[in-house]
């Protein structure tokens, strides 16, 4: 779910959602006023844990559409439009799709470690471009988690799925993406054979499954994890 805010800069001051901001010396410098107003929006996105769509009006008339993520990333409104009908970012832009195909080729070709390196780099690049809570970055993070699982590193896969699910929840859980990632984290955790790792990641998983976004549907999975943890605790000091 996205929130909407309005910034208006005039020759007489700057307003955010109708509330005037104080400016040093009372002098209106358009660039400084716009920056101060945008910081208010960034703070609101962070505190609310959800993206904010911004309509900004300048003194000479231009209207700017901006999109602010909870991590502070500010992008032009065209990005918001790209996600309007695809809020979970399933349709990753063409610039990244060739990279996904390369990862698939490595997995199918029996080169899982190469796929892990490629997937990790893809996450880094999309995050640098769009922010770590952008749906495209979270889709890439889930690809990375899946590749880790295929490569035999279930423990690392659990961690990445948990991170993705937490961030989906923070940005409003578009298209039930939190629950999908949480279920994948649960399945990957069941594949963890190392006792210490299963305990550590299992405790994180319980916290994830108890987030408000889960509701009552997570109760069976929580019971399964807790029951297994009870047994595992007898094997760790």
Residue range 222-236, pLDDT digits in tens: 999 999 999 999 887
- Residue range(s) in the chain whose domain bears CATH number 1.25.40.10: 94-233
CA gap 141, 128 in Å, rounded: 13
Beta-carbon-side half-sphere exposure of residue 86 (alpha carbons within 13 Å): 13
- CATH value of 94-233 in 1.25.40.10, 3.40.50.11720, 1.20.120.80, 1.10.20.10: 1.25.40.10
Distance CA 162, CA 104 (A): 22
In this predicted model, what pLDDT tens digit does every residue of 24-81 receive, in sequence order?
665 567 777 888 888 898 898 888 887 888 888 777 655 677 878 888 887 776 555 5
């Amino acid at each position: 779910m996205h929130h909407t805010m309005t910034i208006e800069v005039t020759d007489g001051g700057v307003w955010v959602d109708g509330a005037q901001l104080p400016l040093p010396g009372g002098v209106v410098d358009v660039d400084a006023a716009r920056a101060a107003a945008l910081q208010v929006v960034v703070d609101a996105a962070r505190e609310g844990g959800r993206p904010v769509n911004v309509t900004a009006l300048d003194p000479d008339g231009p209207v700017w559409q901006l999109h602010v993520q909870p991590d502070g990333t500010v992008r032009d409104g065209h990005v918001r439009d790209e996600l309007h009908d695809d809020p979970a970012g399933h349709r990753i832009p063409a610039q990244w799709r060739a990279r996904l195909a390369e990862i698939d080729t490595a997995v199918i070709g029996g080169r899982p470690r190469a796929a892990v390196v490629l997937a990790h780099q893809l996450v880094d690049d999309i995050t640098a471009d769009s922010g770590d809570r952008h749906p495209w970055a979270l889709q890439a993070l889930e690809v990375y988690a899946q590749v880790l699982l295929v490569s035999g590193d279930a423990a690392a896969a659990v961690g990445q799925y948990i991170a993705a699910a937490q961030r989906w929840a923070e940005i409003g859980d578009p298209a039930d993406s939190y629950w999908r990632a949480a279920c994948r984290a649960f399945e990957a955790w069941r594949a963890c054979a190392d006792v210490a790792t299963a305990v550590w990641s299992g405790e994180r998983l319980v916290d994830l499954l108890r987030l408000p976004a889960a509701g009552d549907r997570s109760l069976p999975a929580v019971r399964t994890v807790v029951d297994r943890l009870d047994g595992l605790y007898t094997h760790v000091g």
